[in-house]
Structure 1
Amino acid sequence: MALVPYVENSLPALSKLHNSSAQFRFANHDLSLAQDWKKLGVAAVVWDAAVVMCMYLELGKVELKGKEAIELGAGTGLVGIVAVLLGAKVTITDREPALDFLSANVKANLPPESQGSVVVSELSWGEGLERYPAGGFDLVLGADIIYLEDTFVPLLQTLEHLCSDDTVVLLACKIRYKRDTDFLSMMRQQFGVEEVYYDKQRDIHIYKALKLPLKSDL
């Protein structure tokens, strides 16, 4: 979600982030995602959490066909693109500066027959939520979106708005700092949260969340 300034980094582990594109094969499709770290920073590179989320979606443990899904902080759009290819109708969102880049990736990687199943839309967490149907999604997806403390409260407000009692939230993330577990603790006040997948090689966790039922006053 955050846009950060470009900093040249010679570490081999980060060199892939500076490539102009990243190639993948998901849902029987070859995908080529443009990347532009210099222009958009973290919003315009494919992070491991997105790759692991796509791997998890391919496992078929979450029903996608015909489902209404929304991706938050989509960046390059990889997760939303794969969800569309697996049969979902997806609203792919990010902040306004990333939208042209995101839209180009979506258009370039979805076949014509799938273009009608996707919408690219601006969403800054906690703002303008009335533009999105309350509880209107079957699935909410987020890959590597819980790393900035300033966004935790608006992100939870956004999840609360988008989710019905039956909405499944899937978050893929690397637990880097105490603040990451702090977010999960905050989320557990409103959602039932469980870890459903762990990629040891990439150190990525996937958490599944469902809204907790409202407590009765009786």
Structure 2
Amino acid sequence: MALVPYVENSSPLLSKFHSASAEFQFRSHRVTVSQDWRTHGVAAVLWDAAVVLSVFMEQGGALDLKGKRVIELGAGTGLVGIVAALLGAEVTVTDRAPALDLLSSNVKSNLPPGCEGSATVSELTWGQGLERFPPGGFDLVLGADIVYLEDTFVPLLETLEHLSSDATAVLLACKIRYERDTRFLDLLRQRFLVEEVLYDQQRDIHVYQARKLPDPRAEL
């Protein structure tokens, strides 16, 4: 997730981002994620897409996560990865280096001893150092509100391709704010089979599931 400097804004629409934390009840667990808009901007606040994707997973919209290998991209506060771990997945929660302290703190404080799954935090800048992650090594790739900067589209697609096998599911939750967001989906469809699996009208959040298209060269 790109880091944008904090700019003072009195808009009531942004007031929730200025709160120090956000709390959720997840089954028998209370999940509390800290936010730090002032220091790290958009990378350190909880966006609606993360909430919608977490609820979608909790309600069984994703594959059974118990024992599955999951990676979250641009994790920010880490809510999505935390929920995946509480559902039993082995999760790698990733973001760029400046976001890792807050992310690590949230993951550590919200995964109790004996948690069904586990989560580790790792630095990942899209398109860079991908050899550190096993190619096609994940059952599920998650991303909440990571489609918004056009300069990141190519490295994001490269990262999704590297992490995915033909059996990997990719779940992306996002708003479609601008024409460029639609262009990203068009690019994604060139490499993945994409379908919309949920639209949350109240929050205006789309959830897309993508699966890698077979490589035609493999048939030669």
Is the pair's TM-score, using the shorter chain for normalization, greater than 0.5?
yes
Residue 45 (1) aligns with residue 57 (2): no
> Quick one: distance in 1 between partners of 2:155 and 2:196?
23
- CA drift of 1:27 comes to 3.7
Q: Residue 136 of structure 2 aligns with which residue?
A: 135
Q: Residue 81 of structure 1 aligns with which residue?
A: 82
Q: Residue 11 of structure 1 aligns with which residue?
A: 11
> Quick one: distance in 1 between partners of 2:116 and 2:175?
31
Superposition TM-score, scaled by structure 1 size: 0.97
- CA drift of 1:116 comes to 6.8
Q: Residue 189 of structure 1 aligns with which residue?
A: 190
How does 1:87-166 map onto structure 2 within 5 Å? 87-114=88-115, 117-166=118-167
Superposition TM-score, scaled by structure 2 size: 0.96
Cα 1:42/1:195, change in 2 over 3 Å: same
SS across alignment from 1:112: coil
> Quick one: distance in 2 between partners of 1:132 and 1:185?
26
Q: C-alpha deviations, 1:117-143, integer Å up to 9, x for none?
A: 111000000000000000000000000
Identity of aligned residues (%): 70
How does 1:192-207 map onto structure 2 within 5 Å? 192-207=193-208
Asked if 1 retains the 8 angstrom alpha-carbon contact of 2:86 and 2:116, the reply is no
Q: Residue 173 of structure 1 aligns with which residue?
A: 174
Asked if 2 retains the 8 angstrom alpha-carbon contact of 1:49 and 1:204, the reply is yes
Residue 67 (1) aligns with residue 100 (2): no
> Quick one: distance in 2 between partners of 1:84 and 1:116?
5
- AA partner of residue 53 (structure 1): L
Q: Which runs of 5+ in 1 are unaligned?
A: none
> Quick one: distance in 1 between partners of 2:17 and 2:116?
27
Asked if 2 retains the 8 angstrom alpha-carbon contact of 1:74 and 1:143, the reply is yes
SS across alignment from 1:165: coil
> Quick one: distance in 1 between partners of 2:12 and 2:24?
20
Q: C-alpha deviations, 1:174-214, integer Å up to 9, x for none?
A: 00000001000000000000000010000000000000112
SS across alignment from 1:113: coil
- How many residues in Structure 1 have an aligned counterpart in Structure 2? 218
Asked if 2 retains the 8 angstrom alpha-carbon contact of 1:96 and 1:122, the reply is yes
Q: Which runs of 5+ in 2 are unaligned?
A: none
> Once structures 1 and 2 are overlaid, which stretch shifts more, 61-70 or 87-96?
61-70
Residue 57 (1) aligns with residue 78 (2): no
